[in-house]
A and B are shown apart, each in its own frame.
Chain A
Amino acid sequence: LAKTTQPISMDSYEGQEVNITCSHNNIATNDYITWYQQFPSQGPRFIIQGYKTKVTNEVASLFIPADRKSSTLSLPRVSLSDTAVYYCLVGDIRGGATNKLIFGTGTLLAVQP
């Protein structure tokens, strides 16, 4: 399973765009990149998933360079409610036990007024 490295924490202000980068140098060919958000005393919540290039949904964008050794989660115009821990996970999602995902340290995003 590919190991991930993220900044421990980031600070931002309301209305700003936040980019959180994750390194995964030993990502395997079949691995996908998934980001989760976790609020205190709650289970993680799926944000976005991608394999290469760019993926966008209603809450975030995910940028993956050609070598796939890193990825960047982009949150447009954050609000106070986006204060949470964000986890980058890498793994083969194709089935059964291969869905096993190992969480790294995560990035604590603190959004200030």
Chain B
Amino acid sequence: GAVVSQHPSRVICKSGTSVKIECRSLDFQATTMFWYRQFPKQSLMLMATSNEGSKATYEQGVEKDKFLINHASLTLSTLTVTSAHPEDSSFYICSAGLTVQGRVTGELFFGEGSRLTVL
């Protein structure tokens, strides 16, 4: 099946620094990718929809200036947590949909997740 890869899988940073997380679709092109955040023992919360070549669409309550999303190519989307604080510590997961002959198959493929710890 299609593969979505995230990097890094784990990152620890000091408060106030910025951290970039990459999401790549390895064997297919993804015009749309999604970024989720998951706190311990909670469900995934959709943060934003990343659109190739255009601005991301953020969910209500998610600060677009804090969580910068760039989708510069059909295989790469990045999430940058700017001026990270301890409350930003979480598990960040991206996903991408598979398009076959111009039609979305409806199956989302998720990355392995990136665990961010802000000290």
A93 touches B110 (CB 8 A): no
User: A83 within 8 Å of B by Cβ?
Assistant: no
What A residues does B107 contact at CB under 8 A?
34, 46, 49
B:61-119 near A, CB below 8 Å: 91, 93, 95, 97, 103-113, 115
Size band of the interface chain A makes with B: 20 to 34
User: B44 within 8 Å of A by Cβ?
Assistant: yes
The residue in chain A whose Cβ has the minimal distance to the Cβ of B32 is A96
Number of interface residues of B (CB under 8 A): 30
B110 touches A103 (CB 8 A): no
Among B1, B95, B107, B108, max chain A CB count under 10 A is at B108
Main secondary structure on chain A at its contact with chain B? loop
B43 touches A97 (CB 8 A): no
User: A113 within 8 Å of B by Cβ?
Assistant: no
User: A87 within 8 Å of B by Cβ?
Assistant: yes
Which 3 pairs, one residue from A and one from B, show the smallest C-beta to C-beta distance?
A93-B106, A43-B110, A103-B44
Sample of 5 further A-B pairs with CB below 8 A, known A99-B97, A103-B46: A32-B106, A41-B113, A43-B110, A93-B104, A93-B105
